[in-house]
Amino acid sequence: MKESNKDKAFLGVYWMTIMGLASVVIRLLITMSLSRLLLPEQFGQVATIQIIISFAEIFWMMGVGSAIVQKKQLSDDYIATGNTLNLILGLIIYAAIFIFASFIAGIVGSDDIIMLRVLSIVFVIHSISGVSEALLQKEMQFKVISIINTVAAIVNGTVAIILAFNGFGAWSLVFAQITSVMIQTTLSIINKPIKLRLRFDKGSAKELLNFGTGYALSKVFNNIANQGDYFVVSQTLGSAALGFYNRAYQLLLVPTNLIATVMERVLFPLLAMYQDEHEKIRYVVMNLTALIAILAFPITIVSLTMGADLVQVVLGPKWEETILPFKILIISLFFRMAYKIGDALVRSLGAVYKRLWVQIAYATLVIGGAYIGKEWGIVGVAVTTTMAIIINYFIMTLLIGHLVELKMRELLGYLTPIILVSAVIGGISYLISSPVATLPYALIRLIVMTLVVGFMYLFAFKFVIIKYMPEDFKGFINIVRDQTIRKLVPKNKNTK
């Protein structure tokens, strides 16, 4: 029987969550190892170069991949033109970085010109598979995508650890990234081969670039927002400070990438199919936002109460300066995760230019705040970045309300029971954190607090939250539960 779009979406979340959990474990083990093999200055060295790479990556794809996912009907000319544009842009970006490496590196305060030139080869490699990856996403082949990403993560970590252990320093991170991109490119092409023919259809190119320009401009300012605080820290506080701040932010991204990024990748192609059905979109947005709150708040509470132990377990004892910035940044977890759902919605509706103005505001808040916050070191930058993330979420929510007629009070009605219960659990967790702190070993303390908070949320969800949530959410949870049982419990072939 042919799967419905709903089944495909759930199966996508299922597979990407399963593989995402595996990736989180893998990445945590890699981070634990590398944090003990490399110095903060070396992480900061690569993080500075990564600022340039992340900006260049925007113009490499120029929104071609997202345009392919968003378009309802694809022709061979459209795909071939997208692939041609992708290859040309990849070569242009690589050549531009190679020629102007000295000038570009100077902008972010780096003198690692050779490292920048070497790492930028990823654009040439990745451009070969850009369209294949977009088609896999459009066709909701999330099992394939998640396996490719997990394999690439394993390769990245393995290569980095081996090279770091053998004294390659910051270069171990560079060579590991290049290797993982090669693996990702190869596996994407194997699973979704396309004809590598150079074709430039003017109509297709115009449509691709119209969507792509708005998408790319939005990504520019989104990247300024995501990298702006790194840029300010690198320029004003130095690479060592950036190393500490970078690790704090990466800890925030672990649950974000596991939960919100998974949902965003699944939602974008699904919502693009239903871009004219606003009632369905409102249902999805409100219920997923509530679900994200239920997942994000327990992580936030554990991180706030046991942040020092978490940093010690994951990063090691030499990363104490990361603890307070991490505790501040984790306050923004729900807002950062929920924002990604809104971002997927806006892109699926094709409102890339309206999204652009949101990104401009977000970038301005991050960079302006970081320049103010730097007076208090990376802790001050963490405070202003957290405030920017929260404000950005509310701006995006207002835009969503305008696009699909979603009222803020409706969304608040979904979130109020969860917020009130979380406030109570947070207070109890704070009170019991002192006795938990007397237990031996950081890992034991972290496990105990996680289990306690998790048990309180399970109890509260079963006996409090679900009783006071709207009926739509109860139905949504039942669908999730039933679909999960279908995927986890094998069918009995003898049952008719």
Q: pLDDT tens-digit profile of 284-309? A: 778 788 888 888 999 999 999 999 99
* Better-predicted residue by pLDDT, 362 or 86: 362
Q: What is the pLDDT of residue 426?
A: 94
The number of distinct structural domains making up the chain is 2
Q: Are 417 and 469 in contact (CB under 8 A)?
A: yes
Integer Cα distance of 305 and 426 in angstroms? 9
Residue 218 has pLDDT above 60, yes or no: yes
Q: Confirm whether 217 is domain-assigned.
A: no
> Are residue 82 and residue 188 in the same domain, yes or no?
yes
Residue 371 has pLDDT above 50, yes or no: yes
pTM: 0.70
> Are residue 391 and residue 446 in the same domain, yes or no?
yes
> Are residue 232 and residue 193 in the same domain, yes or no?
no
Q: Is the dihedral of CA 8, 14, 17, 19 positive or negative?
A: negative
- Max mean pLDDT range (184-198, 320-334, 480-494): 320-334
> Are residue 122 and residue 250 in the same domain, yes or no?
no
* Better-predicted residue by pLDDT, 362 or 61: 362
Predicted confidence (pLDDT) per residue in 139-149, tens digit:
777 778 878 88
134, 165, 200 - which closes a domain: 200
> Are residue 266 and residue 144 in the same domain, yes or no?
no
Mean pLDDT check: name the lowest of 281-290, 329-338, 387-396, 414-423.
281-290
Comparing CA positions, the residue from 64, 170, 70, 165 lying closest to residue 111 is: 170
Q: Confirm whether 208 is domain-assigned.
A: no
Q: Confirm whether 91 is domain-assigned.
A: yes
Fill in the amino acid letter for 268: F
Q: What is the DSSP string of 7-60?
A: HHHHHHHHHHHHHHHHHHHHHHHHHHHHHHHS-HHHHHHHHHHHHHHHHHHHHH
Q: Confirm whether 495 is domain-assigned.
A: no
**Tell me, what DSSP letter sits at residue 260?**
I
Q: Confirm whether 221 is domain-assigned.
A: no
> Are residue 193 and residue 236 in the same domain, yes or no?
no
153, 185, 200 - which closes a domain: 200
Give the model's confidence band at 436: pLDDT under 50 very low, under 70 low, under 90 confident, else very high: very high
Give the model's confidence band at 419: pLDDT under 50 very low, under 70 low, under 90 confident, else very high: very high
> Are residue 337 and residue 278 in the same domain, yes or no?
yes
Fill in the amino acid letter for 258: L
> Are residue 193 and residue 320 in the same domain, yes or no?
no
Q: Confirm whether 267 is domain-assigned.
A: yes
Q: Confirm whether 212 is domain-assigned.
A: no
> Are residue 151 and residue 259 in the same domain, yes or no?
no
Region at 2 (left for phi over 0; alpha for psi -120 to 50; beta for the rest): beta
> Are residue 186 and residue 280 in the same domain, yes or no?
no
Q: What is the mean pLDDT of residues 305-324?
A: 90
- Residue 353, class by beta-carbon neighbours within 10 Å (0-12 exposed, 13-18 middle, 19+ buried)? middle
Q: What is the pLDDT of residue 493?
A: 43
Range of the domain at 73: 1-200
Residue 46 has pLDDT above 90, yes or no: no
> Are residue 231 and residue 175 in the same domain, yes or no?
no
Which pair of structure tokens corresponds to residue 357?
């103005």
Q: What is the pLDDT of residue 488?
A: 46
Residue 87 CA, distance from chain mean position: 25
> Are residue 262 and residue 334 in the same domain, yes or no?
yes
185, 200, 215 - which closes a domain: 200
Q: Confirm whether 423 is domain-assigned.
A: yes
Fill in the amino acid letter for 122: V
Percent of the chain whose predicted confidence (pLDDT) is above 90:
27
Residue 74 has pLDDT above 90, yes or no: no
